[in-house]
Amino acid sequence: MTIRDVDMRGKKVLLRVDFNVPLSAAGISDDTRIRAALPTLKHILASDAEALILMSHLGRPKGKEVPALSLAPVAPALSELLGVAVHFAPDCIGPAAASAISALARGGIVLLENTRFHAGETKNEPAFAAQLAQHGDVFVNDAFGAAHRAHASNVGVASHLPAFAGLLLEKELENLETALESPRRPFIAILGGAKVSGKIDVIDALLGKVDALLIGGGMANTFFAAQGRGMADSLVEWDAVAVARELLAAAGGKIRLPSDQRIAAAFDDAAESRVIAASDDLPAGWQSLDIGPATVAAYADAIQGAKTIVWNGPMGVFEFPNFARGTSGLARALAAETENGATTIIGGGDSAAAVEKAGLSQKMSHISTGGGASLELLEGKTLPGIAALNDR
């Protein structure tokens, strides 16, 4: 059930959001996740709710109060985006939270302090979940980025209150589940990132659904090693080589690897670099940091005419401008296919950051706010934060 299915008039709404945003001395460096929650916030505010109580985690304080991971800077940023006052409570439970909530005028908003300042959050401790649940009459989960975690603020709370999905969570599920369960074809998946070990189950699950699976990033190195290629100082997961070899054998030709790579003499943006063919061993001391231009062109051709494209993981070390060419080139190719009518879904995390960095986020059909959550959905797993919600 979603917030469309519940009458929230006169109720205190306890809303789990994902405000796990990057902070710097200058403030919030990327407010994408905050902006993604705005439709749900506005819907609840328009419903004549008694109060809106927001809770989120930020970083990994490991059950301790870490001032650098306080959510305090988020409250004024959210207030500016919403155009209404957003108050801040210096704790998420206890007298400080209760006082901030009781001080709200009707329709007021308060953001509670980082839930992970308490060890009971990640342990999903019943007592901590019960304390959080005391704040509201109904619970709404809009934190897709944390939906794969069974924590107190998204799973434990749902055992105490009527529990509904927010509009962002609904949108994420509609896009990802539709792509997996009834994709328009051809259906192409693109996987990148550093390691293959965390995506073995995803690859295995996707091979039975996609028409082609394009591999890039550091994980391609492990596949190359499985083929016997000399990878020199490149990142290779040697304990995953045997599994990579099995996946290639079982793929029936669906897995495509880069035809060339941009290699460097050191892990440094200013390092000497050159492009070599994928059939060549790397020189001693060198490492692969990006896919090459021929691969970008080949992958752009492979997705041309596709109707559904899912992308998770960059094609190289996109944080280095000299090794972001593969990722940005592929992003431009996906943007072009979106214009041609394809449904393009970017699976959160580094993929979303790379598309944002390339200035192409508005050119995609959907950019997920949850990297880990989207991966587990692609694997076919049930996410605890979603399973905890009320069904129709």
Instruction: List active site positions.
Output: 33, 195, 349, 372
Residue at token pair 């207030």: 79
Output DSSP code: residue 391: P
Could you tell me where the DSSP H helices lie in 53-136? 74-82, 94-102, 119-122, 126-133
Would you tell me how many other CB atoms lie within 10 Å of the CB of residue 79?
16
How far is residue 222's CA from residue 231's CA, in Å, rounded to a whole number? 9
**Quick one: CA dihedral 210, 216, 218, 222, positive or negative?**
positive
DSSP-derived 3-state class of residue 160 = coil
- Which amino acid is present at 161? L
- Give the 3-state secondary structure of residue 362: helix
Handedness of CA 30, 36, 40, 43 (dihedral sign): positive
Beta strands in the chain (DSSP E): 12-16, 23-24, 27-28, 51-55, 86-89, 108-112, 138-141, 163-165, 187-191, 212-215, 255-256, 260-264, 273-277, 287-291, 308-312, 343-346, 366-367
DSSP string, 291-338: E-HHHHHHHHHHHTT-SEEEEES-SS-TTSGGG-HHHHHHHHHHHHHH
- CA 302 – CA 60 distance, rounded (Å): 39
